[in-house]
Amino acid sequence: MNSKKKNTLQKKIGVIGLGNMGRGITKNLIRSGNSVFVWDKSEKARNTFSKIATIATPHEMSEKCFIIIFVVPGSIEIDKMLKGKDGILANPRRGLILYDFTTSDPIYTKKLARRSASKGVHYMDAGMTGGGAQGADEGTMTLMIGGDRRIYNKTITVLKAVAKKLIYLGESGAGHTMKVVHNMITHTNFFALCEAAHLGKRAGIELKDLIEVFNNGNARSFISERRFPDHILSKTWDARSRVYNLNKDVGMAISLADKLGATVNIGKNTYAYIQEAIKQGRSEDDFSTLYPDLEKSFLDLVHNSGYPGVKFEKKIDFVNLYNQRFN
């Protein structure tokens, strides 16, 4: 392939999934001068890009593109798109590169990578972090990448169009493993801050003051710096991520821990909160809306996991409790 044709091919990028994250990723690829092909199961989402990108099926992308980026819910959706006579792996351009930007089970990721390799297709996993949908819009995300390092090196220019920081972590599945661990911490931080805020409220401390102290001390985090000010203190309740996503993320982390024999008791407590929200029919709610009702809705779940039977709503004699447990 001559250099002109090679450069033209490397500008052809497919994006499958035009939701909260996919929209920003697509726009940044277009701004960087790429010829972008798009697909989403929603006709309305596809038509949003009809004037600035080429609408193409996943199968059509597999024959035309240098890279296809998946920004869909997870591995199951990708698996379906790879299979069958009209699937991506039916007749792909040899050397096609697939980038999985989802939050997925790394074991499933490795399975999809092996199947793709049998067809001469490279499968890379890239977990996203750094500002959620806003980070995708602004191109300021961090990508945690797993897969063949040579393929990663070939695609750095494309990845830099959508992310500020790239971290290569190792072989297939490494990016998704890191993403699962990362998200368990992030979601646990959210519920920990919610508990702290309700405790502060009971003691007469205003939420805005509590957040200001956290952000100027050792308790600061992305949750305190961005999520609470931007979506909760502002009362906009628009973090652009559903309770469903939290449930999937933490559930995968616990499943991975069980497979590896790791202990994640704090993560399991976080999962209990999320499961209760799911039971209450809040799967499709923006997760920021859980904060106002947390103390009331989750009263029966808010136990200190180390002290069975101690309820959050009861006045606790901490000195006596300490003596019982440790003396």
Residue 33 burial by Cβ neighbours in a 10 Å radius (0-12, 13-18, 19+): exposed
Of the candidates 128, 114, 120, 74, the one whose C-alpha atom is nearest the C-alpha of residue 97 is 120
Of the candidates 154, 90, 100, the one whose C-alpha atom is nearest the C-alpha of residue 123 is 100
Q: What is the pLDDT of residues 265-314, one digit of tens each?
A: 999 989 988 998 998 899 999 999 999 988 766 655 554 444 344 344 34
The tokens for 160 are 């830099």
CATH classification code of 178-314? 1.10.1040.10
Comparing 226 with 299, the larger pLDDT belongs to 226
Q: Phi first, then psi: what are they for 145, rounded to 5°?
A: -115, 135
Of the candidates 58, 120, 111, 70, the one whose C-alpha atom is nearest the C-alpha of residue 93 is 120
The interaxial angle of helices 106-117 and 75-82, nearest 10 deg, is 20
The tokens for 22 are 């996919």
User: pLDDT band at 56, cuts 50/70/90?
Assistant: very high
Comparing 276 with 165, the larger pLDDT belongs to 165
User: pLDDT band at 131, cuts 50/70/90?
Assistant: confident
3-172 and 178-314, same CATH topology: no
Q: Which residue has the tokens 């990708």?
A: 78
Q: Phi first, then psi: what are they for 57, rounded to 5°?
A: -70, 160
The tokens for 95 are 């050397």
Q: Phi first, then psi: what are they for 314, rounded to 5°?
A: -90, 150
Q: What is the pLDDT of residues 68-81, one digit of tens each?
A: 999 998 999 999 99
Give the range among 4-18, 59-73, 218-232 with minimum mean pLDDT: 4-18
| Domain map (residue ranges) of the chain | 3-172, 178-314
* Mean of all residue pLDDT scores within the chain: 89
pLDDT at 215 over 60: yes
Q: What span, in angstroms and rounded, lies between the C-alpha atoms of 236 and 229?
A: 10
Confidence (pLDDT) at 297: 63
Q: What span, in angstroms and rounded, lies between the C-alpha atoms of 253 and 271?
A: 10
Beta carbons of 194 and 291 less than 8 angstroms apart: yes
Q: Percentage of the chain surpassing pLDDT 90?
A: 81
- Pairing status of strand 35-39 against strand 97-100: unpaired
Give CA angle at 24 (20, 25), nearest 5°: 110
Output the pTM of the full model: 0.84
- Pairing status of strand 141-146 against strand 122-129: antiparallel
DSSP 61-104: HHHH-SEEEE-SS-HHHHHHHHSSTTSTTTSPPTT-EEEE-S--
pLDDT at 318 over 50: no
Which 3 state secondary structure label does DSSP give 12?
strand
Confidence (pLDDT) at 306: 42
**DSSP-assigned letter for residue 303:** B
Q: What is the mean pLDDT of the segment spanning 1-20?
A: 75
CATH pick for 3-172 out of 3.40.50.720, 3.40.190.290, 3.40.50.10490, 3.40.50.150: 3.40.50.720
